[in-house]
Amino acid sequence: MAATRQKHTLAAPILAAGLGMAAALGTAAAQDAALATQIVDALNKVYGVHPGFRANHAKGVVAEGFFKAAPEAARLSKAVLFNGTSIPVTVRFSDSTGVPNLPDGSPLANPHGMAIKFHLPGGDETNIVINALKFFPVSSGEDFRDMLLAVAASPPEAAKPTKLEQFAASHPNMPRALATVATPDSFADEEYYGVNAFIFVNEKGERHAVRYVMAPERLVHLSAEEAAKQAQDFLIDELPARLSRGPVTFRLKAQLAGPGDSTKDASIPWPESNETVELGMLTITKSASDSLEVQKTLLFLPGQLIDGIEPSDDPLIGVRDGAYAVSLSRRTP
Ligand code: HEM
């Protein structure tokens, strides 16, 4: 139900505004729209075209629950999300890549993703779209596209150094970022990171740059050998089974930027010693009964924000919104 409303109320205007109008105007927005298309083309090149599925994070499972803010959250942001009432959520957990039948234990399925849609009073929505990478391999949409093209140009038989090896050598945060992930034993036992910075604005007009962290009750990672032995859909199947025994909780936290921390480079982690503020508890209560069908029309956008939460100068937020809308336009009739 929420999924259908989402498709018609959000995706169409975003596409029209982001792609058609911008192209017609010939502005910088037209370049952004062209980049979004190039990125989705590159994802399709690397992972193949799978009608009806996302160009990235194609395999996933949907669940429902609620979010309740901690009192400290309102100190940082006046967003209605943080007013302490119980807010219904739709959550989608996913494997990385655009391959819908990828084994969940494959190293390529890392980083796993978590997308949360908060259904606010009055019909508004805001989204958080995060994954298990502690920081991102690249800091711009152009580099993300070029990384994918380097992957596509580096089949096993490619001459050494491959395009991908060359890309990694010139973007050392890429191999460093990819080394931060491992296969969890459950989508519920993974920690997810926002990577992109957002600006929280409170009632006094004070502004704080933050990055989200979604902390599980326990963090459990498998060794590469254990991961390889798991059944094809072990993560997708485990979540509903776990939820049938009881709820799963996560603590949403905000890591605050310190004085010199960059808000525009998602490939640079902020020091772990930075202050972290509890934002609230996410409780997942049940899996969606028609998960496969529901996710087809769901759209989670990192830049779908509400009063009290603003984008930072991180260029990835806009690039992601554009690419997700292009992917949606290709996966829905
Ligand atoms: C240049 C940067 C990025 C690009 C171009 C990109 C591209 C995409 C695309 C095209 C999709 C499919 C969207 C759809 O069909 O609805 C997607 C999904 C997703 N991405 Fe990204 N992504 C980027 C960065 C990130 C980052 C930084 C994170 C998390 C920290 C992330 C997490 C996810 C997740 C969790 C999904 C699945 C969303 C869902 O369940 O609907 N991505 N990405």
Residue (of 198, 128, 151, 131) closest to 42 by Cα position: 151
**What is the 3-state composition of the chain as percent helix, strand, coil, each rounded to the nearest 5?**
40, 25, 40
Q: Is the pLDDT of residue 5 over 90?
A: no
Averaged pLDDT, 314-332: 97
Q: List alpha helices for 8-54, DSSP H.
A: 12-15, 22-25, 28-47
**In this structure, are residues 2 and 312 in contact, taking their beta carbons and an 8 Å threshold?**
no
3-class state of residue 255 by DSSP: strand
57 has catalytic annotation: yes
Determine if ligand 1 sits within 6 Å of the CB of residue 320. Answer: yes
Determine if ligand 1 sits within 6 Å of the CB of residue 181. Answer: no
Determine if ligand 1 sits within 6 Å of the CB of residue 154. Answer: no
pLDDT of 6 reads 38
Determine if ligand 1 sits within 6 Å of the CB of residue 58. Answer: no
The ligand 1 atom at the shortest distance from the C-alpha of residue 114 is: 35
Distance from Cα 37 to the centre of ligand 1, integer Å: 14
Domains and CATH numbers, the chain: 55-314 (2.40.180.10)
Count CB-CB contacts under 10 A for residue 261.
Answer: 17
Q: Which residues does residue 65 pair with via DSSP β-bridges, in sequence order? A: 89, 284
Q: pLDDT tens, 160-186?
A: 999 999 999 999 999 999 999 999 999
**Atom 35, ligand 1: residue with shortest CA distance:** 113
**In this structure, are residues 113 and 57 in contact, taking their beta carbons and an 8 Å threshold?**
yes
Mean pLDDT (the chain, rounded): 93
Averaged pLDDT, 22-49: 86
Which pTM does this prediction carry? 0.93
Determine if ligand 1 sits within 6 Å of the CB of residue 141. Answer: yes
Out of 57, 112, 119, 171, which one is annotated catalytic?
Answer: 57
For a pLDDT cut of 70, what percent of the chain falls above it?
92
